[in-house]
Chains A and B, each alone.
Chain A
Amino acid sequence: MSAPSTGKPAPRLPLERPRKLYTLANPRKSLSLTIVTGLFALYCIVPMLWLVINATKSQQDFVSSFGLGFGGHFALWDNVAQVFTFQDGIFSRWLLNTVLYVVIGAVVSTFLAALGGYALAKHDFVGRRAFLLIVLGSISVPGIALAIPQFLLFAQLGITNTPWAVLIPSFINPFGLYLMWVFSDQAVPTGLIEAARIDGAGELRIFLRIAFPLLAPATVTVLLFSFVSIWNNYFLPLIMLKDPAWYPLTIGINQWNKLGSTAGNGELIQNLVITGSLLMIIPLIVAFLSLQRYWQSGLSMGAIKD
């Protein structure tokens, strides 16, 4: 890893006066910093180029052409059309399921994490330390070992093989809770809360109207993480769902992939697996881009002075 160390610009020499603010409105761009960061970006992007390039290949070209080169003919649109028509167009259904799971799951889990994280940071109550330890301890238990007990519990309640079996666990985002707690602690000035209380605002109103807006960058981060992790959630739906009509995309695409490696009447459709995967990340990119503007600092309003 050579990139990171140069992330901090070298100290300025004293003769360079007057000093400028690089972090504010009109920073001077640095070419060398861009290049070094670019190297890391290259590491991130080259494997993804593979994905994009190979989504343009037919199955036949896929097994016979070089991985980072194009195939005999450009089959991207064929592949996309096939993805949406294969197995009576079940891909669309999986896509809709995934959107359902992701939107509900991410919104609910982020809100619960914000509510809980804020309470942990700004409210005092008995057993807070124990609570933190229990949450940390629980998520340290490998999920694989919990899958069967979770299944049996959900089966008792009769919700296996229904969307609830995927949704309910996705409402819990312990990492989001921790992030929200850390960020609440930093970004929500206690003075502001105190002032609101003096003005007679209720606690929920303080959270919704004052704290929550201040937590925007953290909320966006947690929302994105929830979004992605639910989008890519594999193991739990695999255990919980047996009806393809409720599968999320990950299960469906994995199943397609396995079709080609099961002795018997499997069909080798790597081209569809790859194109399907590419299609899968497009909504994530869209989500990411549309959340861009919330990256602004929550405290820049300068509303508080103590």
Chain B
Amino acid sequence: MTAPPDDRMTELRQLFFETAGELVQKLNDEAMQLEKSPGDAETARSLRRTVHTLKGDAAACGFRELSELCHEFEDVLGNTAAAASVPELALRAADVFAAVLEAYRKGTKLPSIQALRMDIAHLAHPAPSGTEPAKKKKASAKTSPWSEYDQLAITRAAADGKQVHHVAVQVDPQCGMPIAARQMIQLALSGLGEVLALYPLEGSLGPGDRIEAALASEKPVEQIRAKCSIPSIALNVRVKPLRALAPSYRLPTVSVPDSAGKNKEEDAAPAGAHVTASDATPAGEQSAAAAMPGGPDNVLRVDSERIDNVLNLVGELILAKSMFQQTLLEFGQRFPKDVLRGKFSDAMAFQGRVLNDLQHSVMKIRMVPVDQLFRRFPRIVRDVARQCGKEVDLLVKGGQTDLDKSILDAIAEPLTHMIRNAVGHGIETTEERVRAGKRPQGTLRLSAYHQGNHVVIELSDDGAGIDPDKVRQRALSQGLLTSEQAARLTETETLDLIMQPGFSTAEEITELSGRGVGLDVVHSVLGHLKGTVQIETALGRGTTFRLRLPLTMAIIRALLFCVEGRLYALPLNAVAEIARAFEADIHQVEHYEVLQLRNDVLPLLRLGAKPPTLPETARRKVFVLVIHSGERKFGVIVDEMEGEEELVIKALDDQSITTDLVSGASILGNGKVVLILNMIALMDRFTRGRVAATNTQMSGLLSSVAPVESMASAGGMATPDTRAHCTVGGRA
């Protein structure tokens, strides 16, 4: 209560935007539900409640346009005659509401809401079909023409002692320009006094319709009537006093948290319309609470930045833990018999456990159910399916699977794109499906599940599948690879081509599948997230995209190793096993090196430079990290293993990165900088190296990374890293 009002207002607005976003989503859901089962009274009621809540919230926050729009919409929803067109309209309303909210949030110009307004008004006063104007009149007469705002205005005017008239004018059916006619009537009315309300709204008027207005005027009724009897426009004019308002109407929520103003408003309102202002505020709060999962009592809304701060601190703690361990190790080496060593060790173990729990707890805070993203998709599937005249069902599974919020945000766009793609291109048209002997409705399955330290998101369609030959040809014709390379590609590698930048199919250039982004977005985002994407397809039966995402981005368990004396790391879960081998065991087959590992021949990727073939180097032992990624399996040759460690990843700024092979950096307990290798890029090199057929590309990969590393150690990394580095150095 002691907070300054504008602070409270800011907070309130923030809350409003969050809840309003959810309400719009809810509106989307309900509209689609209603579309599926038309006439479902419960859904219809629920939809109306949603709009009502949004109206109340918007009004409480002072967003008048949105509130009015909601109000008009809500009115229409009460009209059962219009039920059939409600779902479509509700979906459009949801879009407009979302756009309006966005404009409010950014403080930009409001988008045009006229079109929706017209449609809403159209529903309220069904279009003139020429033959039944009588029925029309009846329908419009049934609903009270005044919105809550109008009623408030009327009440205020009446309270000010003004005479308020209800003016009803029928537009001459001969008049071909009813909207211009409405403008004339409006002009005439404003010449007489203050026009408090005028219906129907612009654009929804047909010839012969009735225009109703609330006019505050001191002029005699006779003069008003004469003034409104405009030749060629007005057919008959009725003017009657308007004073008694239905007592049941609710005072619009004018609860800007400025109590002084509120009181004034209440004072001004006559007893008939008096509703305590307190009625408005709880309504807003309730809606906010109701929109949140898990009930209103035990949910806290926290700015994600604050959580990130905590997570950052936890990261630093983990760094400190590594420092302790390092120190303890040195201590143990220097005083192997000291009893203190055991005590330290116990304390460390205890602290480590707690730290572990802490880390997991914080990470859990950042976790949100993937449903937050998935709920958007039914609408997208519906819209895209409609656009291309297909019928597509979307089945969602595992919506409760938790995923780091930042990861979820990051995959929102690529996943949306994939879904559009699947509906637009993956699933065939109804005719094609029938011809192929399939169900006319296509099915899109979207599921999420945990797999170890990963979350897997699968999107499969039962469409035509992808023809690898066509992909190959397309890639060839677009010059993405040579025919020689194309011939070497395995099927998996071919399919991966569709995610290469620059690859596009003719259809993809249509507006449908998105705004000029190809599936390469998926590839690059997944690479950035250290996830993988895998494509499976069966011609005629469908395609499955499998995204494997890390649970969280900030901390990874990594395997540390040395190449040519420099320290690198790979995410531990990418490494399936570690093998030792003599240089002599590594053979050159065609263009790449291989190692016989048990019964398999493992293709190899050499990070360092290839040693000259000498007798003494043949006896040298190296380590081979066996990497499993999707269907691929390959080995990475490294010089020394350094152990595993939990790494707090710090992003490198773009200037320091000269290669995509490095995705981040971290600092070890002993202050050393380690570069984290980008699995995806490695794999790309591997694939490309094979097809490029030059073995120089297959070794010495990391030579190009070297300058980066020296820069990093010299403190040339992004600021936070430099700082962390110094801290470590200072204390160690």
Chains A and B come from one and the same complex: no
B interface list, Cβ under 8 A from A: none
The chain A residues found within 8 Å of chain B, CB to CB, are: none
